[in-house]
Chains A and B, each alone.
Chain A
Amino acid sequence: MRRQIPLAIALVAGLFGALSYFIQDPTVQDIREQLLAWLRLIGAFAIGIGIVSFLRNHGKKVTRQVSGWAFNAVAIASFLAMSTIGLFGGISDSSLFRKMFDFAQVPMEATMFSLLAFFIASAAFRAFRARTKEATLLLLAAVVVMLGRVANIDWLSQATEWILAVPNTAAARGITIGVGLGIVATALKIVLGIERSYLGGE
Chain B
Amino acid sequence: MSSFFEKFLKIDRRWIFLAVGLAVVIALVAPCQMSTTITPPVQIFHDVVAAATPDKPLIVSMDVGPSTLPELEPMIKATLRHAFGNNVKVIGLSLLITGPSIGERLLVDTAAEMNAEFEAAGEERRIIQGEEWVFLGYKLGLTPVIIDMGEEIRNAFRVDYYGTYLDDLPMMQNVHNYDDMSSIVTISGTAIPESWVAFAGAPYDIPVSVGVTAVSASNYYTYVQTGQMAGLLGGLKGAAEYERLINYPGMASKGMVAQFWVHIIIVFFIVLGNTAFFIIRAQKKRQTDKK
Q: A: which residues have CB within 8 A of B?
A: 21, 29, 33, 36-37, 39-40, 43-44, 47, 91, 93, 98, 101-102, 105-110, 112-114, 117-118, 120-122, 124-126, 128-130, 139, 142-143, 146-147, 149-154, 157, 161, 164-165, 168-169, 172-173, 176
A39 to B155 alpha-carbon distance, docked (Å)? 14
Pick from A122, A147, A153: contact of B263, CB under 8 Å: A147
Write the B144-158 contact mask toward A (1 if CB under 8 angstroms, else 0).
110110010001000
Q: Which residues of B contact A122 (CB under 8 A)?
A: 13, 16-17
Contact-size category for B: 35 or more
Most-contacted residue by chain A among B98, B147, B155, B274 (CB, 10 A): B274
Sample of 18 A–B contacts (CB below 8 Å): A36-B148, A40-B140, A40-B145, A113-B68, A117-B20, A117-B262, A118-B21, A120-B266, A121-B17, A121-B19, A121-B265, A122-B13, A125-B270, A149-B263, A150-B260, A154-B37, A157-B37, A169-B222
Given contacts A36-B144, A44-B140, A121-B17, A105 and B66 within 8 Å (CB-CB): yes
Asked if B221 and A165 make an inter-chain contact with CB atoms under 8 angstroms apart, the answer reads yes
Q: Could you mark each residue 56-74 of chain B with 1 if its beta carbon is under 8 Å from any beta carbon of chain A, else 0?
A: 0000000001111110000
Contact B273 A125 (CB under 8 A): yes
Contacts of A91 in B (CB 8 A): 101
The contact string, 1 if C-beta is below 8 Å from chain A, for chain B 262-291, is: 111111011101100110000000000000
| Assembled-state Cα–Cα distance A124/B92 (Å) | 38
Determine the distance from Cα of A118 to Cα of B13 in the docked complex, in whole angstroms.
9
Q: Which residues from chain A contact B70 at a C-beta distance below 8 Å?
A: 110, 114
Which of B98, B144, B265 contacts A39, CB < 8 Å? B144
**Do A152 and B274 form a contact, CB below 8 Å, given A43-B141, A114-B70?**
no
Residues on B lying within 8 angstroms of A by beta carbon are 11, 13, 16-17, 19-21, 24, 34-37, 39-40, 65-70, 98, 101-102, 104, 140-141, 143-145, 147-148, 151, 155, 203, 214, 217-219, 221-222, 225, 235, 237, 256, 259-260, 262-267, 269-271, 273-274, 277-278
* In the complex, chain B residues whose CB is within 8 Å of the CB of A110: 66-67, 69-70
- Further contacts, 14 of them, CB under 8 A, given A40-B140, A129-B274, A146-B263: A33-B148, A44-B141, A101-B101, A107-B66, A113-B68, A118-B20, A121-B262, A121-B266, A122-B16, A125-B270, A130-B277, A142-B270, A147-B264, A172-B219
Query: Which residue on chain A has the smallest CB distance to residue B20?
Result: A121
The 7 A-B residue pairs with the shortest CB-CB distance, nearest first, are: A113-B67, A40-B141, A109-B66, A106-B66, A36-B144, A157-B37, A150-B260
Residues on A with beta carbons closer than 8 Å to the beta carbon of B16: 118, 121-122, 125
- CA distance in complex: A36, B97 (Å): 20
Determine whether the beta carbon of A161 is less than 8 Å from that of B218.
no
Q: Complex formed: what's the CA distance from A128 to B145 in Å?
A: 43
Most buried by B among A139, A149, A153: A149
Q: How far is the CA of A66 from the CA of B102 in the complex (A)?
A: 37
Residue of B nearest to A35 (CB): B144
**In contact, A152 and B37 (Cβ under 8 angstroms):** yes
Quote the shortest CB–CB distance from A46 to chain B (angstroms). Answer: 9
